[in-house]
Amino acid sequence: MGMTMTQKILAAHAGLKEVKAGQFIEAELDIVLGNDVTTPVAIKEFKKMGATSVYDKNKVVIVPDHFTPNKDIKAAEQCKMVREFSVDMDIENYFEVGQMGIEHCLLPEKGLVVAGDVIIGADSHTCTYGALGAFSTGIGSTDMAAGMARGKAWFKVPGAIKFELVGKPKKWVSGKDIILHIIGMIGVDGALYKSMEFVGEGFENLSMDDRFAMANMAIEAGAKNGIFMVDEKTIKYIKAHSKKEYSLYNPDKDAEYDETYVIDLSTIRPTVAFPHLPDNTRTIDEVGEVKIDQVVIGSCTNGRMEDMRIAAEILKDKKVAKNLRVIIFPGTQNIYLQCIKEGIAEIFVKAGAVFSTPTCGPCLGGHMGILAPGERAIATTNRNFVGRMGHPESEVYLSGPAVAAASALTGYITNPEKI
């Protein structure tokens, strides 16, 4: 029996000719990632192990992005620990405030991850890099510590689900709408510890930003990872951002999949996930009248340049609804700068939105957008669990940038086709 994309990558990094679903392997790591929330725990475990140096100062990446710029004394203490560790270990890819971004937007932009890599990160949305044809998955801080020390990690080889994409999405339908549609279809545990593998002629109609958004939310279906086949768009992106060697791993024709779904992109509508799970989805035509108090556009799911341009197209020469808070934060400093150069930042500010520096803050209810009891937000973030963005009695609705921007103009969840 042949192997899937994920299985081929893991076999290569384990030094094996083949692997099978359920097999335990030890694989070499290309990148070990941490942030300001998870790295302090990893540092403590690293020291408990008696480790005195990281396995490769160029392959450990640390990005303070959740509570930076520091929101309080505790956050400052955590970042201080991370900063001092990075200096002591001579870590090349430590990104201080001013150079940083949201980690899963920053690493591809910096060319640190490429096709064929194995990446672990102490953040569940590390699965984002599957958009580039890499195996990437979230792990705990203890595994991060071991990865930093040894450059290796144990994995149980996942089975896989094939998503054959056909057709072309209509205007205002982005990768976020597609992945919300899929999660709504299979459920938040529909791909539990499996690889979500995206193939088919339809994925050629998706931009890299679409693919990043889709791979990013594989974890919201319970998946171990999400991964796309590599095409010309992928290679063009890699060559534009990285000098690293990349490797291509296409699935075998006789690769074994637990399930196969055909997704016709042309039939997908703008989609919204209602509280309190990402699989509680409705098309924009089924939403009804939902009043909102806050709009958040950004995050590691939808903080990329294409997302900013979509929001700007809708908000240009208009004003956000009265008594509504609209917060927009790009994924990296480069995207922030590009928004200024293209006049997008001016569009946002003139519309009455807050245009912030990159941060994960609002997404996890950390800072810069906390919800009070009874408040509702529509957000381009990736989770809408109880209390995710603030008070347990608040509500979060998930959408793509087009629906979020349209909703900013009306104060209600709104179809962008009607703006």
Instruction: Map out the domains of the chain as residue ranges.
Output: 5-264, 272-418
Residue 324 — pLDDT band, cuts 50, 70, 90? very high
pLDDT at 97: 87
| Residue 191 predicted with pLDDT over 80 | yes
CB of 379 closer than 8 Å to CB of 397: yes
Percent of the chain residues topping a pLDDT of 70: 100
- State yes or no: cis peptide before 40, omega within 30 of 0: no
CATH number assigned to the domain covering 5-264: 3.30.499.10
> By CB neighbour count within 10 A (0-12 exposed, 13-18 middle, 19+ buried), where does 326 fall?
buried
Asked if residue 199 lies in contact with residue 163, where contact means CB atoms within 8 angstroms, the answer is yes
The whole-angstrom separation of Cα 189 and Cα 218 is: 10
Residues 6+ apart with CB under 8 A from 45: 141, 142, 145, 146
Would you call 14 helix, strand, or coil by DSSP?
A: helix
Rounded (to 5) percent helix, strand, coil in the chain: 35, 20, 45
96 versus 310: which is more confidently predicted? 310
Question: Residue written as tokens 């919201």?
Answer: 220
What is the model's pTM?
Answer: 0.94
Which residues have C-beta within 8 Å of that of residue 80, sequence separation ≥ 6? none
- Here the tokens at position 263 are 């997704």
- What mean pLDDT is predicted for residues 376-397? 94
Alpha-carbon distance 75 to 70, whole Å? 5
| Tens-digit pLDDT profile for residues 146-169 | 999 999 999 999 999 999 999 999
Tell the CATH topology of 272-418: Aconitase; domain 3 (3.30.499)
How much is the pLDDT for 100? Answer: 80
Whether 1 shows a pLDDT value over 80: the answer reads no
The Cα–Cα gap between 2 and 8 comes to: 9
Q: Return the pLDDT at 364.
A: 85
Given a cut of 80, whether residue 198 has pLDDT beyond it is yes
345 Rama sector, left if φ>0, alpha if ψ -120 to 50, beta otherwise: alpha
Residue 21 has pLDDT above 80, yes or no: yes
Rg (CA), the chain: 20
